[in-house]
Amino acid sequence: MAHYYFFLCILLTFSLSFYGISAVNYQVINLAEKTPGGIRFTKEIGIPFTKTLMGTINNYVWNTILQQSDPADRKPVPTMTIYIMEYKGAEAIAWGDNINVSSVYLQGYQGNLKWQFTSLLYHEITHVFQWDGEGKAPTGLVEGVADYTKLKANYAQVGYAKAGTGNKWDQGYDFTARFLDYCDGITPGFVGKLNKKMRKTFDVKFFQELTGKPVDTLWKNYKAKYGNIKHGDEITEFVN
């Protein structure tokens, strides 16, 4: 009997520490509760919905985008906090394990706020969990990976770049995301594999290591595939 309890104890301790490795605490703090944007947040989105969404997106990023089934590959994030804050400027900004969302932006958004907030969080939460080569990766690529998540999750907003548009691979955001999607067609799981290489550093040769072709050749082939659309030729339908 004593042996049995001992074994149970070991098992419990082991499983608790196992879950402790990858479980992230989700926290949402509305610092703008009394402002029009903060009130709109409570009414149309709310803290419970946001916490559930954080879990959904976190798992989507780990499993589908970065393909980190081994917890040792994941960026350790004990707590991720979202602050709803009154400030003018970027709609949202990721910093460390946290994200600030502008209540001024939420207040002024015309359309389905819950959908737009979800789309925004697919981008920002990717920043929390992606590797950036300890700051050595080009900003355009880091932003491209974040927008790639949005694209794959079917949360690309109206006006999101069409495939084949843009004038360089690291232009950023939706332009780079479309190019990464092309690379994924050549090497399945490309973004996850590239992210893994970007843990400590960045080298443009990573593209060649993963696809067999240098990034400039990939970009040329990508542009050719879509008929060499020149920047400015593409049909844009920006609404915001």
Least separation in angstroms between residue 89's CB and ligand NAG is 9
98: part of which helix (H) or strand (E)? strand 98-102
Among residues 7, 14, 19, 95, the one that binds ligand NAG under rule CB under 6 A: 95
Site string for ligand NAG, 19-38 (x = CB under 6 A): ------------x-------
How many whole angstroms separate alpha carbon 195 and alpha carbon 205?
13
Whole-angstrom Cα distance, residue 196 to residue 146?
15
Give the list of residues 6+ apart from residue 3 with CB closer than 8 angstroms, or none: none
| Minimum separation from the CB atom of position 120 to ligand NAG (A) | 15
105 binds ligand NAG (CB under 6 A): no
Stretch that binds ligand NAG, among 33-41, 93-101, 180-188, 211-219 (CB under 6 A): 93-101
Q: In the complex, what is the shortest distance from the CB of residue 129 to ligand NAG, in angstroms, rounded to a whole number? A: 17
Q: Judged by CB under 6 A, does residue 85 bind ligand NAG?
A: yes
- Asked if 65 contacts 194 with a C-beta cutoff of 8 angstroms, the reply is no
CB 191 within 8 A of CB 66: yes
> Measured from the CB of residue 26, what is the shortest distance to ligand NAG in angstroms?
17
The token duo for 218 is 């990939």
Q: How far is the CB of 23 from ligand NAG (least distance, A)?
A: 24
* Residue 83 found at the interface with ligand NAG (CB under 6 A): yes
Q: Which is nearer to Zn ion, 35 or 126 (CB)?
A: 126
Sign of CA dihedral 54, 59, 62, 63: negative
Residue 100 binds ligand NAG (CB under 6 A):
yes
| 85, containing H or E segment | strand 79-85
Is-contact 189 67, C-beta < 8 A?
yes
DSSP letters of 107-171? Answer: HH--S-HHHHHHHHHHHHHHHHH---GGGTS-HHHHHHHHHHHHHHTT-PPTTPPPTT--SSTTS
Please report whether residue 218 would count as binding ligand NAG according to CB under 6 A. Answer: no
Give the binding range for ligand NAG (CB under 6 A) out of 13-21, 92-100, 113-121, 127-135.
92-100
Q: Is 146 in the site for Zn ion (CB under 5 A)?
A: yes
Q: By CB under 6 A, tell whether 93 contacts ligand NAG.
A: yes
Binding residues vs ligand NAG (CB under 6 A) = 31, 83, 85, 93, 95, 100
